[in-house]
Amino acid sequence: MRLASVVGTRPQLIKAAVLQPILRARHEELFIDTGQHYDDALAGAFINELDLVPPDHQLGVGRGSATEQTAAILARLEPILSTYRPDLVIVYGDTNSTLAGAIVAAQLQLPLAHVEAGLRSFDRRMPEEVNRLIVDHLSTWAFAPTATAVDNLAAEGITQGVTLVGDLMQDLAARMSVEVRDPAVLAQIEARLADQAPGLRLRPGGYLLATVHRAENREPAALRAWADLLASVASGTRPVVLALHPGTQAALTAAGIPLAPAIRVVQPQGYRTALALQLHAAAVLTDSGGVQREAAWLGVPCLVLRSTTEWLEAVADSDGRMVVIGLDQNRAIEALARLAPESSAAADSAQRAASLRLAPAGAAAAIVDRLEAGLPA
């Protein structure tokens, strides 16, 4: 088959890194990067670290509103797919790149495969939720990561082409987690971060890791709320390491909102570094769907900085380690006191890392096998 894969963000590169080797071993793939994550720290380094083939096309859409990014991708992607005429277009997740890839495929009457189909937060204020809904209803194949996702699709009348395949990100996390179990990895990361965060000391259980990037958390009121929340749980003895998306940094600067001294800002990190920082942290605070899942697989306490999540099974199966708290400062303090008390965080972190044995989901093989079986009946 002649396939075209459309990516544009770090999580999509992670998924493509698992699927691409199997695709390319058996089929022809045109690899297209929209440039939605537009700098080297966000995306470029991932391509090298994860051994991805360099994209055949770099669309370079850069920053902008959701509408601006989607429009730019539509305009630049359509002539490529129109000329190449793949047998199938593959899109991942729920981003502007996903939506644009699906629309172009539909307009050109090309079969579409949606990897990570069926997820629902049931909150249409989230742009990602709108993207998921549209893409799933345009798809020929809907590759669902969870049983709940399959049920969500069925509730919307989507049953043809639906396959439960598991989570591609779990496959990569299983492979890479072996490399970051040793806490000695923290000394290497600390050295690399010395210029960004002078004096930062990374010890197992001795810091909290935070990521904040979603559109709703870049509004002025939300910026202030989560900045205050992080300040309330950060201290000199247990700092918050904030891996800060450049768009979020720009929003903070524009709003004139400073971060507390115990919040140590670093650039978005490569995949192995990000996984290691999660595994050895006392807890993770995030609005990222990808980080939620990784924290669940690693067994790390996780506070979800959103009022809803599409990863309901990650919360339900976490034995209480994952809590959706929104931007409620009091709930954050209570949850950390219960899930990651400073008195036991170091021992808890050491035990978690030593006992980690994460099994792959086998999602990539399941996806390719289903595609090779032919068009859905």
pLDDT tens for residues 345-358? 999 999 999 999 99
> Residue 376: is its pLDDT beyond 60?
no
Are 285 and 209 within 8 A, CB to CB? yes
Given 57, 114, 213, 245, which residue is catalytic?
Answer: 213
**Nearest C-alpha neighbor of 287 from the set 324, 313, 338:** 324
CA-CA distance, 111 to 31, in Å (whole number)? Answer: 16
pTM: 0.91
What confidence tier does 312 reach under pLDDT thresholds 50, 70, 90?
confident
Whether the pLDDT of residue 40 is over 60: the answer is: no
If one compares 30 and 125, the residue with the highest pLDDT of the two is 30
Question: What is the pLDDT, as a whole number, of residue 37?
Answer: 75
Q: Where are the domains of the chain?
A: 2-167+361-372, 178-355
- Mapped onto helix, strand or coil, the DSSP state of residue 57 is strand
Q: Topology of domain 178-355, per CATH?
A: Rossmann fold (3.40.50)
* CATH topology agreement for domains 2-167+361-372 and 178-355: yes
Would you state the pLDDT for residue 306? 95
Q: Could you tell me the CA-to-CA distances from 209 to 234, 252, 263, 276 in Å, in that order?
A: 10, 18, 10, 11
pLDDT at site 47 = 77
Mean pLDDT value of segment 183-197: 96
Residue 317 pLDDT: 82
Cα 9 to Cα 23, 95, 358, 361: the distances in Å are 20, 8, 25, 22
Half-sphere exposure of 253 (CA within 13 A, CB side): 7
The model's confidence at residue 182, banded by pLDDT at 50, 70 and 90, is: very high
Q: What is the band of 239 on the pLDDT scale with cuts at 50, 70, 90? A: very high
Q: What CATH number should be reported for the domain whose range is 2-167+361-372?
A: 3.40.50.2000
| 8 A C-beta contact, residue 16 and residue 52 | yes
The pLDDT assigned to 43 comes to: 59
Q: What's the average model confidence in pLDDT over 133-153? A: 97
Q: What is the mean pLDDT of the chain?
A: 94
Place 375 in a pLDDT band, splitting at 50, 70 and 90.
low
Residue 114 annotated in active site: no
